[in-house]
Structure 1
Amino acid sequence: MKWCFYLIALRLLIPSSYAQNSDTIIYNKVDKLKKEGQFEKAVSLLNDLLAKANTSKDSSYIFGEIGFIYNSKRDFHKSLSYIHKAIKTQLVYTDSLDQKNAYLYINLSFAYAGTKNYKKAIQYTQLANKTGYNYPFITNNKLGFYYSRLNQRDSALHYYKKALKIKPVPGILTNIGDIYLQKNQPEKALKYFKQAQTKPNLHVYTSVSIKYRLSKTYRALGKHYQALKLLQQADSQLIIRSKQVLTQSDKLSIARWVTAIAQLGLDIAYQAKQKECAFYFSERLKMGIVLEKIAKDKGILPIATLQKRIGAREKLIAYAQTSKNLYAFVIGRTDFEMYRLSTTLTSLKKNIEAFQQSIAQVDPRMFVQPSVQLYNSLIAPLLPRLKYTTKLVIIPSLSLNNLPFGALAPQSPSVMSADGFRALPYLIRRFEISYYPSASLLFASQAKQKNYPLDFTGVAYTQFGTGKKELIWGEKEVQYAYNLFTRKKLYSNSFPNNLTLDTRIFHISTHGFYDEHEVLGGLELGTNDTLTVNNIYAQSIRADLAVLSGCQSGMGQPITGEGIIGLPRALLYAGVRNIIATQFFLSDRATYRLMIMFYYNVKKGYTYRQALTYAKRVYINQYPFPARWGALVLIGK
């Protein structure tokens, strides 16, 4: 349920002791700082005033102002502390039900709601009502929201309907509809959502919100066609909005609504057996604002168009995730099927984490169970559609973006030894595998052709700060590749500022870094510099292939509606068509051996996907555990 809290400014009358002196100027500065979002500076000025406050009235006012600022910052615990001080001080000279205290009670209820203590929020909102507070619409709406959070739906309806009598705005109508939907009374919910839809001059996000709720209601009534039609209309509104000049707030709102609409649409389309509609919504979950710009606003390609561009004996597997379900689409030249996979999202996450941990710790025993379970969950149900397939393009979703599918196996090794793992039928043994963020973006990107003035540009870093390993083998791999080409450039321990790259292959060997709590990862450039996502967005790096030979260079933060935010996304945006990156730690010597075989295969005329696949198949015979070869993946074809 969407709710807009009303922050009530604690603009009580400035105490008389301050009215005619220089501190009035400070209050004006505080107001200006609050409007600019400079909350800490505003608090600092108020604390200076607090130190020289002459009366309890003065102190009460300042405590209240500071509490209000912390409410604005959503630092609710500090807000509670200061507003309670304000009330305690103010009760020295006023009665608890004095109307002057109403603003403090309202802001106190907001702070308690921010800490999810809705019982206390109700207590202080009702106390504000008893003071004769002049805004009953606000208090009734707040009480409706707080009771709904406590699942006391009848009480929530009571207060929402009281607010509705005062001001019949769309927000109250949708709140009432939400409660009826929660009470499994979709017919009554439909009545209120339709009333909200008839209100004039609806803001685009309000209109989208109402259509979303109507779709949920029609779904509950079993009217899937009407539900999907409304979701498509809402999606069209968001597409139009996204083409306008946007603030950061707009971009966040669009991303949130695209995600909500696409997830609901995907679930409903599956129920209605509308495969093409479901695939459209699955692509919407991946084609965020950044990817739409990369695709030059061509939008999502129809299935028939995709099928014409899929190669012989090639299949595209696109995964999509909603709040409760995981789906897979298998698309070939002449066939198209949709699956709802039986795995739970909780077990999926657990298995991926265990798989990644086994790789990080180079622990074969820990590896076996999650590898088999992930294979059985993600690949086995699709095998009937992959009978004559030799090439796969995998379009992952969310946490699947950091999973090397080629390292999955359908069974445990017969013995826990190198020979046992060497005999495993890893997925990479059967298929040539590549990845891409979105099916539509893949073919929009692959359609671009360009003659490059250079065949190869290499960058090798070997020297880093204290405690960092020198990458001797990384330098050798770049040198090996450099020697294979004619038109070429090589940079050693340097990466010129504002470097404009226009080359068929760009290869950089260095240390990579990634923190799962940070959206941005990057590559280390020697001792004092880094190449981050933001750097790449600002560069012109145009290449047919970028090889990021550094640990975790392909990692990123999974964002619903956008995919993985990391170095590969930035390179796609900069104009790179294909990328080889790493999904976990990999020794520079192992990378060297794989890249030597990769470049050897490229020079023989193999595609990038073939070249990397064949290199891995050879390497598995020597070093069969995936920790030595599974990290390198191709994003592209």
Structure 2
Amino acid sequence: MDNIAKMQADDLIHQGLEFYQNHQFSQALQTLQQALDLYRIIGDREWESNTLGTLGIIYYQLQDYPNAIAYSQQNLTIARQLEDQWGETQAWINLGNAYQAQGNYGQALECHQQSLKRAKEMADPECEEQALTNLGNLYLALGEFEKAVELHQTCLKILRTLGDRQHEGETLSNLGIAYHACAEYEQAIQCFEQSLAIAEELRNLQGVMDVIANLGAAHYAVGEYERAKQYSQQHLLLAKAYGDRQQEVRALNNLSNAEQALGNSSEALAGLQQALSIAQALGDVWSQGQSLNNLGYVEFLAGNLVEAENHLFAAIELWKTQLTGLGHNDAYKVSLFDIQQKSYRLLQLVLITQSRKDKIEAALEVAEQGRARALVELMAQRLSATSTQLFTEESPSVDRMRQMARSRQATIVEYSITYSVQHQATGLEALALSELLIWVIQRTGEIHFRRNNVLSSYPGQYQSLTEMVDQCLALMTSRGRDAVPLSVTSGEERNILQELHQLLIAPIEDLLPINPDSHIILIPQGSLFFVPFATLCDSHNQFFIQKHTLLTAPSIQTLQLTQQQRVNLQQSNVSHSLVVGNPLMPSLETYSAVQPLQPLPGAEAEARKVANQLDAFVLIGSEATKAVVLRQMSNARIIHLATHALLDNKRGLGSAIALAPTENDPGWLMAEEILQLQLQAELVVLSACNTGRGRLTGDGVIGLSRSFFAAGVSTLIVSLWSVPDAPTATLMTEFYQQLQQNLDKAQALRQAMLAMIKQNFEPKSWAAFVLIGGDA
């Protein structure tokens, strides 16, 4: 009886696979389910597992992701019980693809990493390439574009070794997509054209369809809209012919973008509405969000502000569900949030264009929602774990923002960088121009709004706000803590400081407090995190710090959370301070050499003076190893680190503080290590170069400062450029002297800077340092 049932089940498998290959999916599912039932009756676990895997793949292709996941999970369970490495690897691959298509990127990442691990264990290059491809595509979806390029290049090498032309063509397409995301459009087009040639050679209709879609997007990116439209029309015809509804959504979105760029708004709107309808039927969260965002853009250009607002709010709600799907994976939340920023930026413009007080305040709430979300979640989770109170991750309402300004008796200034949309006489054309939106919440709780176009202020002089800030930093920086004494500020430096003052401060100057001791809390965004606000000077050559007491925060909500971290510290028994100065320097390994770092005698003198002022424990030279420093940091109230620092502005988490190396440790305290610490410090001073810099994202600056906040610190002092050794020591000892006069931290830093000005130190000697956090 078992033999007969086995033969029947095997026949059903062959029939089911034939139905599947002929795209007769409903018949394939029915036949394979019958085979599965028979294999279960006779107890054939191997073929039960194989059949479950095939069913999972078919459900995935039908965009029925819950069933794809359910069958693939059953397949995985049995494959592991049978110790079937190949079957387990394939099950991980299928699960990862289904989770990714569903928008659950956290689960997808885990599955793809598991599949790659198993493939390497088997030394199976085909499985390894498949796992690398999936990981590369996931990194692309998460905004990790350079990682995606690297992985797809590795895949291409494997495939060319194997002589697999079909997958070589597909990988060339994936590599082109990654290059496109890196804005390397010519390289992207070259990859797509090579991929198209292979797809046509192999008569691969799916491959041709995919590459034509990519070519359309690439030509759109370089402004060739008519050519982009032609490719998108071909893409749409192929998607319909192939019956691929997800590709149809993509084609409709791309075609609508080209139509809008060509001035055909009604065609764009109709295509996007159709795309949204299909995406909703498929349950495709990402495509729904993209379609809603594009609908909001088209309606905005058409002047239909209410419709635009509704579409963009709906897009943002969908984006939030994707972030939730990542669980506790902070790095990928940051990258994914970067991709979603356009919806937040566009919605702010839609709201303020309506010129109503309630809409302008709603735009402030959206601006706050659109920043530091991953950091807020990290801080709230940490606070909730160490307190009986549950801390919410929801952005504060306008009423809550007013209450914070009143309770702190501070003026809060929130900046938002967005893009203006200008209508040209020759037709409807969108120009991406940096524009500043500025909200001022006064100590009374009254909210004011101003806006300022960046490029129109300096026509032909700068291409972007980022270029202005980069030029400012280049002019202000020295070679580092071991640099020679600084020269007098040049006229060029003074000019750009005045230009930034005109751009950032002049529009709101009448709203700022008259009393110089009153706090101004600056909430920057984007490149504004790197602006030395203290040294911006007005037309009378007076520095901003001479008139105001300043501190910054990544967002209003992080300001609130850092303040709560300070409250928690006051309830603890932490009392001692830690000072580190001029540790035995580690070496910096580059691609070409190992470079020993120079000692910092000024940092050592600074540390000894600061330790004396604080009556603190001081670590100098070889004493300041990472193990010792970490042990002392864990329960220190004030932490002062005077040393070299390493800036990583690509990944951010590679930024590091230099400590003394040992036989077992190179001596670098990395930002990613700090992120995992549990600290109780009310103040950390990073008296080193570029400690406030890092990778710039929608979540703020990924680097040392963010890691210390996530670890529980309430206030930080960090630097924006390479600071000189001797003047830095002077500034820091003056800061602690002022702090001992019962001034708050923000006022103490201001007084230290005023003392430097009085002694005729130039701004680059003292203005690099900024105070960040809720405990002023």
Normalising TM by the smaller chain, what interval? 0.7 to 0.9
Q: Is the 8 A contact 2:212 2:231 kept in 1?
A: no
SS in 2 for 1:470: coil
1:512 equivalent in alignment to 2:512: no
Q: Is the 8 A contact 1:204 1:237 kept in 2?
A: yes
Offset at residue 113 of structure 1 (A): 8.0
Offset at residue 514 of structure 1 (A): 1.8
Q: Is the 8 A contact 2:196 2:207 kept in 1?
A: no
SS in 2 for 1:428: helix
**CA 1:565–1:225 in 2, change beyond 3 Å: closer, same or farther?**
same
Q: Is the 8 A contact 2:170 2:207 kept in 1?
A: no
Offset at residue 196 of structure 1 (A): 2.5
SS in 1 for 2:288: helix
What does residue range 516-555 of structure 1 map to in structure 2 within 5 Å?
Answer: 516-517=649-650, 519=652, 520-527=654-661, 528-555=666-693
Q: Deviation digits for residues 551-586 of structure 1, max 9, x if unmatched?
A: 221222212x11111100000010000001111122
**CA 1:346–1:280 in 2, change beyond 3 Å: closer, same or farther?**
farther
User: After alignment, is 271-280 or 112-121 more displaced?
Assistant: 112-121
1:340 equivalent in alignment to 2:451: yes
- Looking at structure 2, the residues matched to 245 and 115 of structure 1 have their Cα atoms a distance apart, in angstroms, of 29
SS in 2 for 1:410: coil
Offset at residue 127 of structure 1 (A): 5.4
- Looking at structure 2, the residues matched to 148 and 471 of structure 1 have their Cα atoms a distance apart, in angstroms, of 52
- Looking at structure 1, the residues matched to 177 and 743 of structure 2 have their Cα atoms a distance apart, in angstroms, of 60
| Residue 214 (structure 1) aligned to one of 273, 279, 295 | 295
Residue 299 of structure 1: aligned partner: 394
Q: Is the 8 A contact 1:39 1:69 kept in 2?
A: no
What does residue range 492-507 of structure 1 map to in structure 2 within 5 Å?
Answer: 492=620, 493-497=623-627, 499=631, 501-507=634-640
- Looking at structure 2, the residues matched to 69 and 248 of structure 1 have their Cα atoms a distance apart, in angstroms, of 30
| Residue 267 (structure 1) aligned to one of 349, 356, 359 | 349
Offset at residue 594 of structure 1 (A): 1.6
Amino acid at match of 1:277: A
Q: Deviation digits for residues 292-324 of structure 1, max 9, x if unmatched?
A: 322444221112212212257631111111243
1:407 equivalent in alignment to 2:502: no
Residue 606 of structure 2: aligned partner: 477
Offset at residue 45 of structure 1 (A): 7.0
- Looking at structure 2, the residues matched to 396 and 536 of structure 1 have their Cα atoms a distance apart, in angstroms, of 23
SS in 1 for 2:585: coil
**CA 1:615–1:186 in 2, change beyond 3 Å: closer, same or farther?**
same
Residue 437 of structure 2: aligned partner: 327
- Looking at structure 2, the residues matched to 142 and 481 of structure 1 have their Cα atoms a distance apart, in angstroms, of 59
| Residue 630 (structure 1) aligned to one of 742, 762, 767 | 767
**CA 1:539–1:72 in 2, change beyond 3 Å: closer, same or farther?**
farther
- Looking at structure 2, the residues matched to 633 and 145 of structure 1 have their Cα atoms a distance apart, in angstroms, of 42
| Residue 349 (structure 1) aligned to one of 447, 466, 469 | 466
User: After alignment, is 343-352 or 533-542 more displaced?
Assistant: 343-352
User: After alignment, is 173-182 or 542-551 more displaced?
Assistant: 173-182
Give the TM-score normalised by the residue count of structure 2. 0.65
Amino acid at match of 1:74: L
1:364 equivalent in alignment to 2:489: yes
User: After alignment, is 517-526 or 344-353 more displaced?
Assistant: 344-353
Offset at residue 271 of structure 1 (A): 1.4
1:115 equivalent in alignment to 2:225: no
Q: Is the 8 A contact 1:174 1:210 kept in 2?
A: yes
Residue 128 of structure 2: aligned partner: 33
- Looking at structure 2, the residues matched to 151 and 548 of structure 1 have their Cα atoms a distance apart, in angstroms, of 49
| Residue 752 (structure 2) aligned to one of 593, 615, 629 | 615
Identity %: 19
Residue 561 of structure 2: aligned partner: 444
| Residue 193 (structure 1) aligned to one of 261, 272, 294 | 272
Q: Is the 8 A contact 2:523 2:555 kept in 1?
A: yes
Q: Is the 8 A contact 2:188 2:218 kept in 1?
A: no
SS in 2 for 1:494: coil
**CA 1:540–1:159 in 2, change beyond 3 Å: closer, same or farther?**
same
Q: Is the 8 A contact 2:415 2:438 kept in 1?
A: yes
**CA 1:161–1:494 in 2, change beyond 3 Å: closer, same or farther?**
closer
Higher helix share: 2
User: After alignment, is 523-532 or 33-42 more displaced?
Assistant: 33-42
SS in 2 for 1:453: coil
SS in 1 for 2:364: helix
Taking only aligned residues, the RMSD between alpha carbons, in angstroms, comes to: 3.6
SS in 1 for 2:394: coil
User: Structure 2 unaligned runs (5+)?
Assistant: 1-60, 62-121, 133-150, 382-391, 420-432, 456-461, 479-486, 587-594
User: Structure 1 unaligned runs (5+)?
Assistant: 1-5, 7-26, 50-61, 79-110, 413-423
SS in 1 for 2:736: helix
What does residue range 44-123 of structure 1 map to in structure 2 within 5 Å?
Answer: 62=163, 64=165, 67-68=168-169, 71=172, 74=175, 115-117=188-190, 120=193
Q: Is the 8 A contact 2:440 2:511 kept in 1?
A: yes
- Looking at structure 2, the residues matched to 119 and 570 of structure 1 have their Cα atoms a distance apart, in angstroms, of 40
1:592 equivalent in alignment to 2:729: yes
Amino acid at match of 2:317: S
SS in 1 for 2:225: coil
1:205 equivalent in alignment to 2:343: no
SS in 2 for 1:337: strand
| Residue 282 (structure 1) aligned to one of 359, 367, 373 | 367
